[in-house]
């Protein structure tokens, strides 16, 4: 890294924890502060959605601890992850908690920060580019477009128990938000689509699934709300994915600029 470029930025201190976002996939989307932290941290506790290329910026002697959480698979308990951050900080280490996307956007960064606060561990939040914005940009889908929408709703497709959140007013969202961006929604897509259509959304409304966004394994499925669940099953695509509902999806044919499958084919 350019030392002059990073010299004016904050530095990590022993016994402190930085909760940082790594962005949606492409290492180039790391912020300067996150990149600097990778090179300074004594211990890095990272998520499943962090591109391993980002970890190449870590010091050779840094402790790397995987703390990934993936639906339906054995995962670390959130309480254990939070307490591990406390333990490492109490040992005097400079600790980087690296998360995919942004730690405060469905990343449970707030929970970890509150645990650090309860144990009197100093912390810093380093925002990242959330997948619901950056991932869609890599698919050629703008979250807002003046001729389409002036508002967007971000929501999660499941709660801490793994089911569709019952506190979401699906009818109000269906009526009030022309563009809906959903995290962790693939598993319950049939149920969610039914709720949105019951709230007044058209069965022929455009939907896109962006899987492994901003990586060389990015795949995009464009369909409609009425066919979304069936087409998703037929596609064989699996999480992680961002789902977007709304007419902004129709801009993808014109704005698509990052097509790794086509790039690989052209290089062969």
Residue among 182, 184, 186, 189 flagged as catalytic: 184
Give the per-residue pLDDT at 71.
Answer: 58
Q: Is 182 a catalytic residue?
A: no
**Sign of torsion over alpha carbons 226, 228, 229, 230:** positive
Burial class (CB in 10 A: 0-12, 13-18, 19+), 244: buried
Distances (CA, A) of 31 to 6, 59, 103, 120, 132: 11, 17, 13, 27, 17
Q: What is the pLDDT of residue 68?
A: 83
Please give the chain's pLDDT, 268 residues, in tens.
567 777 789 999 999 999 999 999 999 999 999 999 999 999 999 999 999 999 999 999 999 999 987 655 667 889 999 999 999 999 999 999 999 999 999 999 999 999 999 999 999 999 999 999 999 999 999 999 999 999 999 999 987 667 887 889 999 999 999 999 999 999 999 999 999 999 999 999 999 999 999 999 999 999 999 999 999 999 999 999 999 999 999 999 999 999 886 665 555 5
Q: Which of 69, 194, 197, 231 is catalytic?
A: 69
pLDDT at residue 46, as a whole number: 98
Of 26, 36, 42, 47, the active-site residue reads 47
Residue 4 is predicted with a pLDDT of 72
Region for 25 from its dihedrals, namely left if φ exceeds 0, alpha if ψ lies in -120 to 50, beta otherwise: left
Task: Say which DSSP state 9 is in.
Answer: S
184: annotated active-site residue: yes
Q: What is the pLDDT of residue 262?
A: 64
- Homologous superfamily of the 3-128 domain (CATH): Tetrapyrrole methylase, N-terminal domain (3.40.1010.10)
47 is catalytic: yes
128-183 pLDDT per residue, tens: 999 999 999 999 999 999 999 999 999 999 876 678 878 899 999 999 999 999 99
Query: What CATH number has the domain spanning 132-260?
Result: 3.30.950.10
pLDDT of residue 167: 87
pLDDT at residue number 178: 97
How many residues can be counted in the chain?
Answer: 268
pLDDT tens, position by position, 44-66:
999 999 999 999 999 999 999 99
Domain map (residue ranges) of the chain: 3-128, 132-260
């Amino acid at each position: 890294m350019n030392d002059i470029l990073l010299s004016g930025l904050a530095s990590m201190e022993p016994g402190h924890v930085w909760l940082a976002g790594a962005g949606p996939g492409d290492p180039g989307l790391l912020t300067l502060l996150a990149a600097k932290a990778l090179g300074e941290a004594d211990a890095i506790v990272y998520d499943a959605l962090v591109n391993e290329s980002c970890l190449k910026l870590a010091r050779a002697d840094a402790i790397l601890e995987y703390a990934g959480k993936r639906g339906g698979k054995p995962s670390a308990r959130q309480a254990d992850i939070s307490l591990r951050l406390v333990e490492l900080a109490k040992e005097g280490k400079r600790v980087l908690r690296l998360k995919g996307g942004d730690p405060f956007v469905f990343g449970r960064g707030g929970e970890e920060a509150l645990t650090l606060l309860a144990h009197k561990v100093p912390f810093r939040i380093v925002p990242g580019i959330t997948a619901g914005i950056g991932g869609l940009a890599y698919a050629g889908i703008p979250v807002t477009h003046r001729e389409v929408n002036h508002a967007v709703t971000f929501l999660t497709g499941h709660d801490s128990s793994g089911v569709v959140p019952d506190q979401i007013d699906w009818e109000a969202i269906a009526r009030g938000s022309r563009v809906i961006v959903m995290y962790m929604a693939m598993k319950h897509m049939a149920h969610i689509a039914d709720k949105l259509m019951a709230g007044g959304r058209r069965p022929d409304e455009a939907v896109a699934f962006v899987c492994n966004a901003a990586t060389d394994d990015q795949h995009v499925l464009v369909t409609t709300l009425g066919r979304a669940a069936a087409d998703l099953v037929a596609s064989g695509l699996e999480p992680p994915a961002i789902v977007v509902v709304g007419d902004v999806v129709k801009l993808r044919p014109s704005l698509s600029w990052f097509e790794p499958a086509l790039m690989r084919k052209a290089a062969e």
